[in-house]
Amino acid sequence: NVPLTILVLNEVPPDGDHLNLILYLAFVSTLAGNLTLFGSVANLIVAQKSLATINHRFTFWIYLKFGFITTIILSLVGLFTIYGLTHAIK
């Protein structure tokens, strides 16, 4: 998530108003870590601790079922929120 964010930000021209782009990019790069088990180190830590403490194994597909639904819902909420806030500022 971070390397792609850095690459995209390097392509944003310094002139003009790019607040929407920067807010969307920050939001999506943060949210993308929730989609899959390997999207964030925190997800892997929780999966490992879950196996060690309660003997529950999170597979890629089990996590994706939860991650996909929450990512879609949070994406919609976040995009409408950012849109509303940035248009209220103008």
Instruction: Convert the pLDDT of each residue in 39-90 to its tens digit.
Output: 888 889 999 999 999 999 989 999 999 899 999 999 999 989 988 888 877 6
What is the mean pLDDT of the segment spanning 15-26? 79
The C-alpha atoms of residue 9 and residue 25 are separated, in whole angstroms, by 9
Whole-Å CA distances, 43 to 52, 62, 74, 86: 14, 12, 17, 31
Nearest of 23, 27, 34, 29 to residue 6 by alpha carbon: 29
Q: Is the pLDDT of residue 29 over 90?
A: no
